Structure 1
């Protein structure tokens, strides 16, 4: 009886070895994987804030710069416009002090001479072409003139920048 017990594990091991496929017997199955992308004409816009900093004094003019960065499909024409902000009065942009309700007038320009106001009207839009790289940055020139009558505190406004393509 001892002999069949010893042979049994050997036979099982042999049967398991016989079930392993050799490379000549390997099989395979294949499927296709599709890869695609659709490129559409379009643009995105990001901004860098215009921060005038701290005012110490009674009157003067502060200037600061920010930026509008446009990323588009290559060689795409576009126009950038800016609204008048949350606290405008007529055509005048104003920052508001939330604590006191006071305002300070300021303006944004598209040129370093501070002569071309950046607006949402056709004449105040900045037009461009994204070129071969699709990326272009535009400086924003901010100017704030204060007369000494402003109440101390933090003044803020938010401008909506829109890119049309």
Structure 2
């Protein structure tokens, strides 16, 4: 009789194991969980220079052309880049845009100069300004702000004006210089 009782205990234990393990049948496990995640983007104020070349080179901004005069003249001439600006600059209205202009290729004694070819003795000093009356100078390497509003945001013009007074007695020829403008925002 003990064998039968022992057999029943084993059969009952096997049955319990089978029931506990799903009876040898596989039932799909099902659970639902949810979680959230954030999606964000930050749009910063800034500027876009259309036609930007390699390494941040924007090409030619424009030309300051003082025109022609006699080699004996002592006249004062003015020029501006606003009509000849070749790049298109677009900015977010209200962005803090600054411009810095170096001393040019013929910087001497802290002043910008036009020079006739390679002749360092044939120079004419000139000044850059932010306004047509040249009351707001643009110093060599100094920064000046450029106003960006809703009205000009899609076509920002760089306010660069220049003035020079001919010293008279200069050798005839083409006098030139090349400036580098750095824009920051």
> Which category describes the TM-score, using the shorter chain as reference length?
0.5 to 0.7
- 1:73-92 paired onto structure 2 within 5 Å: 73-75=91-93, 76-92=95-111
Residue 54 of structure 1: CA displacement? 1.0
TM-score (norm 1): 0.64
Residue deviations 1:8-39, cap 9 Å, x none? xxxxxxxxxxxxxxxxxxxxxxxxxxxxxxx8
More deviation in 40-49 or 89-98? 40-49
Partner residue, 1:47: 61
Contact 1:118 1:126 in 2 (8 A): no
CA distance in structure 2 between the partners assigned to 1:128 and 1:109 by the alignment = 15
Residue 130 of structure 1: CA displacement? 5.2
Residue 70 of structure 1: CA displacement? 5.7
Paired positions, count: 125
Query: Unpaired runs of 5+ in structure 1?
Result: 1-38
Q: 1:128 aligns with which of 141, 147, 150?
A: 147
The structure number with the bigger radius of gyration is 2
Query: Unpaired runs of 5+ in structure 2?
Result: 1-42, 50-57
Partner residue, 2:167: 147
Residue 55 of structure 1: CA displacement? 1.2
Query: In 2 relative to 1, CA 100–87 (structure 1 residues): closer, same or farther, beyond 3 Å?
Result: closer
> Does residue 131 of structure 2 align to residue 111 of structure 1?
yes
Query: In 2 relative to 1, CA 127–140 (structure 1 residues): closer, same or farther, beyond 3 Å?
Result: closer
TM-score (norm 2): 0.58
Residue 48 of structure 1: CA displacement? 2.0
Pick 1 or 2: higher relative contact order, CA cutoff 8 A, min separation 6: 1
Partner residue, 1:30: none
